[in-house]
Chains A and B, each alone.
Chain A
Amino acid sequence: MNSGYSRAKGAFIVILIAMAIIAALCFVLSETPVKALSLFFIGPFSSLYSLGNMLASSTVLILGGLGVSIAMKGSSFNLGGEGQIYLGGFVAAVSGVALQDLGMLGTLIAIAAGSLASGAIAGFSGWCRMKWKTSEMISSFLLSSALVMVINYLITGPFLDPGSNLLTTQKVPQAMRLSKILPPSGLSTAILIAIASAAVIQAYLYRTKGGYSLRITGMSYRYAVYSGLNTRVYTWLPMFLSGTLYGMGGALSVFGTYYACVRDFQSGLGWNGFAVALIAGSNPVLVIPAALFFAWIQSGARIAMQGSDLTSQVASIAQAVIFFLITCEAFGRTRKKGGVSCK
């Protein structure tokens, strides 16, 4: 319990430092720092509309954070989140349009198809690691970068919706969309699915034999081999699950918020999922508050950008600072116990 406490304390200190840095950046970068600051921190709570949008953006962060966490529990690094979110969204949007006669059943199939497509892509990186010891970290990154380009082509080429003036695929019909909470904001029942996924992942990791084996293999590969665990499976499975969760995040953004695969909607989300998992210490339940915190920073930056002269880059600097600080032992996190050990 002691380590859990110090971990929470460490995360809290890091969050405070990140907020102090944001405040300092407001003063350096803005002509009207007080206005920028208040928009940044209070803006997301100033109306139900902003609040809804903030919660909507936390949906994909929860799933991304879960995706990174489960990979880390298996001592894998999935750096392909961006491409996997994009692919999940794209496959879901395209198959949603193709299955429009099926109604909500079609939605279900489309979301599953999007998730599994991304799971397969990430699982491929894990499989190469199992088979030939190819670094899943670099291969997932390269694969995702290539995917982003290819999907950009597909969206602006063969699957472009000619009726829209955005670069996007065709919208899925009304009957297939997830129902809204707090309209007209982007919040939908997708967030409930995300929260339920956190519970499922928590139960899988800590209440099932498979989850236990996955964690053991992640903690000590050699011990797992000697214990007779099927380490081959647990080398690719965390990557597969990670990709599936990322893909689900993309698919839910399509059916809950955008209703189509808009070009570059995934931009930055993969890395934010990483930040969320780090704040949460790869704990599936803690991913939810960490995602809410990150959604707050993100929406704050967006609102401050619209209402003052601040640029959206402030959020990315805060994100990098969180990355840096959160893994330092100085903040009460031990390398061996944390989910981030990888050697």
Chain B
Amino acid sequence: MQVILSALSTMAPLLLAALGGLFSALSGTLNIALEGMLTIGAFSSIAFASATGSLALGILIGMIITTALSALLGLFTIRFKANPFIAGLAANLLAGGVCTVTSGKIYATEGVVNFASLPKLASWHGLDLFLPIALAGTLICAFVIRRTSYGLHLRACGRNQEAISSLGLRADFYNLTSFLISGAFCSVAGAAIMFRLGAYVPNASSGKGWIALVIVYLGNMRPLGLLAAALVFALADSFSNFAQGFWNVPADFILAIPYVFTLAAMIIFSIFSRKRKSFM
């Protein structure tokens, strides 16, 4: 039971980040900077939540900052035609550097920052507000992608940009908005990680942005599929945490398990994927 509860709370940030990644994957330009946006979102949300004394305001300001930064990334890849993968890697590196420098400058430490004035997050058996947010987000995304003209055009843009142009629409618009959406989602995902810890911990995202990218594909690019995939990953993650207590496995191995599990899932998925469509 405890494993399931802890899995559900681990699932929220993974699912949120993956939903963000989904939009960019559907638009045809994959945003691999999810990890960096998680980092920026996490830092800015918790810093502003502590400064303003309000969780909601912190999350909101974090979202605005992260979205602005993903707009910058979108500008580089769409307007200046930078290679989206390399610009994404740059954003990941930049995010880590900027957060560390800023935290060193403001809080005089490059390590863990404890916020005395952080508002308390309401939770029930370790489940917090972010789980319903993530579930509601999944339903909203499913609706937007399947039932709105924006969703239809977004999917068409990923399949064939010329078709979009021939309708008199701009493919750039869909690429850019999908980047903005992924920034906003990742910011909330980052906030979900940080508020649970109750302090700013550098590198707390620990590869979740990369795992979220894999989830996008394992969920077959459908919101409900993402939900299932994220749940599997979260279960594996919390199971490995519990395993540590039972079998006395070294802590370093526990840290490696999410990566190995993701890799294995990804390879198995590509073996059985009937479409054999190239993994991005």
- Interface residues in chain A, defined as those with a beta carbon under 8 Å from any beta carbon in chain B: 29, 77, 79, 128, 132-135, 137-139, 141-143, 145-147, 149-150, 152-153, 156-157, 271, 274, 278, 311, 313-314, 316-317, 319-321, 323-324, 326-330, 335, 340-342
Contact = CB atoms under 8 A, between A and B. Distances in A.
28 contacts: A29-B105, A132-B267, A132-B271, A133-B277, A133-B279, A135-B280, A138-B214, A139-B263, A139-B267, A142-B207, A142-B214, A142-B259, A145-B256, A145-B259, A153-B250, A278-B86, A311-B110, A313-B100, A316-B93, A323-B89, A323-B94, A324-B90, A326-B86, A329-B80, A340-B86, A341-B83, A342-B83, A342-B85
A327 B91 CA distance: 13
B278 interface: yes
A323 B101 contact: no
Contacts of A328: 76, 80-82
A269 to B, nearest CB: 13
| 10 closest residue pairs by CB, A with B | A323-B90, A320-B94, A153-B252, A149-B256, A146-B259, A316-B97, A328-B80, A135-B279, A132-B270, A327-B82
A275 to B, nearest CB: 9
Most A CB within 10 A of own CB, among B93, B96, B101: B93
Nearest to B86: A327
Interface in B194-252: 207, 210, 213-214, 250, 252
B266 A150 contact: no
B104 interface: yes
B125 interface: no
Contacts of B140: none
B97 A313 contact: yes
- Give the dominant DSSP class at B's interface: helix
B6 to A, nearest CB: 21
Contacts of A139: 263, 266-267
Given A137-B280, A328-B80, 17 more contacts: A128-B270, A135-B280, A138-B213, A139-B267, A146-B259, A311-B104, A311-B110, A316-B96, A317-B101, A319-B93, A323-B86, A323-B93, A324-B82, A324-B90, A327-B83, A335-B81, A342-B85
Given A324-B76, A324-B87, A329-B80, A317 B256 contact: no
A139 B277 CA distance: 16
A329 B83 CA distance: 9
B100 A311 contact: yes
A278 B101 CA distance: 25
A138 B266 contact: yes
A150 B87 contact: no
B98 interface: yes
Contacts of B32: 137
Given A138-B214, A157-B250, A311-B104, A77 B262 contact: no
B45 to A, nearest CB: 21
Given A29-B101, A313-B97, A320-B93, A146 B86 contact: no
A150 B253 contact: yes
Interface residue tally of chain B, by bracket?
Answer: 35 or more
A239 to B, nearest CB: 15
B255 interface: yes
A137 B84 CA distance: 13
A306 B73 CA distance: 33
A326 B278 CA distance: 27
A278 B94 CA distance: 16
A142 B96 contact: no
Given A134-B267, A342-B83, A324 B94 contact: yes
Contacts of B85: 77, 137, 342
A327 B80 CA distance: 9
A271 B92 CA distance: 11
Interface in B174-211: 207, 210
B267 A128 contact: yes
Contact of B210 (A142, A147, A313, A342): A142
Interface string B101-131: 1001100001000000000000000000000
Nearest to A331: B80
Given A152-B252, A271-B93, A340 B259 contact: no
A149 B260 CA distance: 11
Nearest to B105: A29
A157 B260 CA distance: 20
Contacts of B277: 133
B147 interface: no
Interface string B22-44: 00000000001000000000000
B107 to A, nearest CB: 13
A314 B110 CA distance: 13
Nearest to B36: A320
B83 A149 contact: no
A141 B210 contact: yes
Contacts of B86: 278, 323, 326-327, 340
A134 B252 contact: no
Interface in B61-90: 76, 80-83, 85-87, 89-90
B210 A314 contact: no
A143 B98 CA distance: 26
Contacts of B253: 149-150, 153
B247 to A, nearest CB: 14
B34 to A, nearest CB: 11
A143 B261 CA distance: 10
A149 B255 contact: yes
A150 B82 contact: no
Given A133-B279, A335-B83, A314 B267 contact: no
